[in-house]
Structure 1
Amino acid sequence: MSTPVPPAPRRGSRLQVESLGLQIGGATILKDVRIDIAAGSLVGVIGPNGAGKTTLFNVISGLVKPTTGRVLLDDRDITAASVPARARAGLGRTFQTSSIFPRLSVLENVRLAAQVSLGGSGSLLRFPRRTDAATELALEKLRVVGLDHKHASAAGDISHGDKRKLEIAVLLATEASIVLLDEPMAGVASGDVAGLVDNIRDLHREKGCTVLMVEHHIDVLMGLVDRVAVMYFGSIIAYDVPQKIMDDPLVQSAYLGTAAA
């Protein structure tokens, strides 16, 4: 039997959100959200607390169904698709709180993703041999994020910053063509931020994937992304290159709480 080889990285996917709206109990959470993100872009999403950033991610990733509008991945309508179907289509996601398996080792967390990526089982009950292709792929991705020396540690025992790096290693081991990062710097010690920024750049460059990230560290985000989308009261009020966003009077007013909804 021939040894499976790692899949060739997908090119980044184009993401389109068209007239997206979400109402819950009569309250408007998202209102006519429109954005077209080019394949291979690295885009930041900013806005005051409660602007709808994480909710937008939840709708794009399929955790929440919108009231109106559509989500398209490479011109294919995925609005009604399940979360697993979106993952198979190439959509990856991290959350504000860590979503790793804390009782498994660092290596085993990445190895599970590598198994699925190579066409194998994602079962926790079927661990591959130490020398198989999935293990080699997992170790390679752990080296990329600088966690190979902690491969045997329980994932729940490593630092918060390392948990974020581990999540990125998991994404690197998948075939994701578009990745949603929800506050990847949240709770990360200042000394770990630069390394995590490098990991996000590696995720973007190595895989050629599209990256969409919510981040409150504005100074970090502005030096990392190609374009910035600004959310305010459930709508996107600006979408442009970082410098133009920083100079936009409407954006400045929104952060001061004086812009119109």
Structure 2
Amino acid sequence: MSTPLPSAPEERTARGARLTIDGLGLRIGGATILKDVALDVAAGSLVGVIGPNGAGKTTLFNAVSGLVRPTSGRIALDGRDVTTASVPARARAGLGRTFQTSSLFPRLSVLENVRLAAQVGYGGSASLLRFPSRTDAATEAALAHLDAVGLTHKAATAAGDISHGDKRKLEIAVLLATDARIVLLDEPMAGVASGDVAGLVENIRAMQREKGCTVLMVEHHIDVLMGLVEKVAVMYFGSIIAYDTPQRVMDDPIVQSAYLGTGTAA
């Protein structure tokens, strides 16, 4: 049975939440996917997760967001154990997530994608059949979030017709509309044109600094990530082998030997 979690918007007005992962493990068959993962992410902080392909980064995100059930360990949001909570319960508690591939509604407009998320946040349903007026509170909130990510001018465009970089920005607007307190970004720069990277970085930084969200992100572009985050967790064969400031991680001989010295990107 899932652990009861707060769901009303007024119960989570404080932005940012602490994420605590303790002794997390995942075994599938005879294979160990995650092993004794421990991570303490302070409320309102911006933390990066790097590691070679197959290190367990996305699996860790899947465990935190509830898509997979760990076989050992504990996950807590602001001290509340959510290890067995459902995906919807974690979302109601303020946990948001993007994926490596877009999870938008491609045939709905940019505005409708964000408005749908805001509609749920205001206590409404996620029904696509309810189309409010331009003065509806959810619509006004959606427009404000689109303005924050610089997509107001594409509000009427179908989400499937915008560029990949704009889709990533739209996903951030959707997360903001859900009133997420902890945001998991899985490779937000993947496939984004070089000209769109700077704008996306600013959107992520604003989400953390201005909205107060706690942000945990996996990113292959090490140079971009190191200039953005406050701390970096390095994963290697399902475990975290280092967790420190970007400079200290880069200088860590264990990290250099196990990961950076290979010459491969995360």
Sort the Cα spacing of 1:84 and 1:8 in 2 relative to 1 into closer, same or farther, 3 A: closer
User: Which letter maps to 1:62?
Assistant: G
User: Which letter maps to 2:130?
Assistant: R
Unaligned stretches of 5+ residues in structure 1: none
Task: Find the counterpart in structure 2 of residue 82 from structure 1.
Answer: 86
Aligned residue among 109, 130, 135 for 2:113 = 109
Given that residues 10 and 176 in structure 1 are in contact (C-alpha distance below 8 angstroms), is that contact kept between their aligned partners in structure 2? no
Task: Find the counterpart in structure 1 of residue 66 from structure 2.
Answer: 62
Given that residues 164 and 184 in structure 1 are in contact (C-alpha distance below 8 angstroms), is that contact kept between their aligned partners in structure 2? yes
TM-score (norm 1): 0.94
Identity, in percent, stands at 80
Given that residues 12 and 93 in structure 2 are in contact (C-alpha distance below 8 angstroms), is that contact kept between their aligned partners in structure 1? no
- Partner secondary structure for residue 36 of structure 1: strand
1:11 Cα shift?
2.0
Given that residues 17 and 35 in structure 1 are in contact (C-alpha distance below 8 angstroms), is that contact kept between their aligned partners in structure 2? yes
Aligned partners of 1:81, 1:6: CA distance in 2, in Å?
Answer: 21
Unaligned stretches of 5+ residues in structure 2: 1-8
Aligned residue among 236, 241, 258 for 1:237 = 241
Aligned residue among 218, 239, 262 for 1:214 = 218
1:207 Cα shift?
1.6
1:172 Cα shift?
1.1
Task: Find the counterpart in structure 2 of residue 42 from structure 1.
Answer: 46
Aligned partners of 1:7, 1:122: CA distance in 2, in Å?
Answer: 20
Given that residues 234 and 241 in structure 2 are in contact (C-alpha distance below 8 angstroms), is that contact kept between their aligned partners in structure 1? yes
Aligned partners of 2:236, 2:262: CA distance in 1, in Å?
Answer: 9
TM-score (norm 2): 0.92
1:192 Cα shift?
0.3
Given that residues 9 and 208 in structure 1 are in contact (C-alpha distance below 8 angstroms), is that contact kept between their aligned partners in structure 2? no
Aligned residue among 14, 17, 27 for 1:13 = 17
Aligned residue among 36, 51, 54 for 1:32 = 36
Give CA-to-partner distance per residue, 1:145-166, whole Å, 9 cap, x none: 1100000000001000000000
Given that residues 20 and 40 in structure 2 are in contact (C-alpha distance below 8 angstroms), is that contact kept between their aligned partners in structure 1? yes
CA RMSD of aligned residues (A): 1.6
Sort the Cα spacing of 1:35 and 1:8 in 2 relative to 1 into closer, same or farther, 3 A: closer
Task: Find the counterpart in structure 1 of residue 142 from structure 2.
Answer: 138
